């Protein structure tokens, strides 16, 4: 019985995360500012991390945790790089 509950919760979580990614992708395309686009990219990265962790719980495969950590690291470094680019653009 518990397997059914976990699977149902994971399916609901995945559906909600897919909807949230779609909303963030819309904000990525529409903007209006560069900061909005950067924040939406960071949110998409966080949601992808969440999806990988939900998949790790459902399947029991630990490799999904490594995937989640990699996505988190790349997302963080990308956000820092884009923030520095905005900072340099505003100074010049």
C-alpha to C-alpha distance for 62 and 30, rounded to whole angstroms? 36
Please report how the helices 63-91 and 34-59 are oriented relative to each other, as an axis angle in degrees rounded to 10: 170
Residue 11: CA count within 13 A, CB half-sphere: 6
Q: Report pTM.
A: 0.86
C-alpha to C-alpha distance for 68 and 12, rounded to whole angstroms? 19
Domains annotated for the chain, with CATH where assigned, are 2-91 (1.10.287)
- pLDDT at position 89: 82
- pLDDT at position 92: 63
Query: pLDDT in tens for each of the 92 residues of the chain?
Result: 466 898 999 999 999 999 999 999 999 999 898 888 999 999 999 999 999 999 999 999 999 999 999 999 999 999 999 888 888 887 76
- pLDDT at position 76: 94
- pLDDT at position 51: 97
Residue with tokens 């939406």: 40
Residue ranges of E strands in the chain: none
Residue with tokens 């680019």: 85
């Amino acid at each position: 019985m518990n397997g059914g509950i976990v699977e149902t919760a994971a399916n609901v979580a995945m559906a909600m995360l897919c909807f949230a990614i779609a909303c963030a992708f819309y904000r990525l395309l529409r903007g209006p500012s560069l900061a909005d686009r950067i924040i939406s990219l960071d949110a998409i990265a966080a949601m992808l991390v969440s999806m990988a962790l939900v998949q790790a719980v459902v399947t029991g495969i630990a490799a999904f945790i490594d995937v989640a950590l990699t996505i988190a690291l790349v997302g963080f470094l990308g956000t820092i790089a884009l923030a520095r680019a905005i900072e340099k653009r505003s100074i010049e």
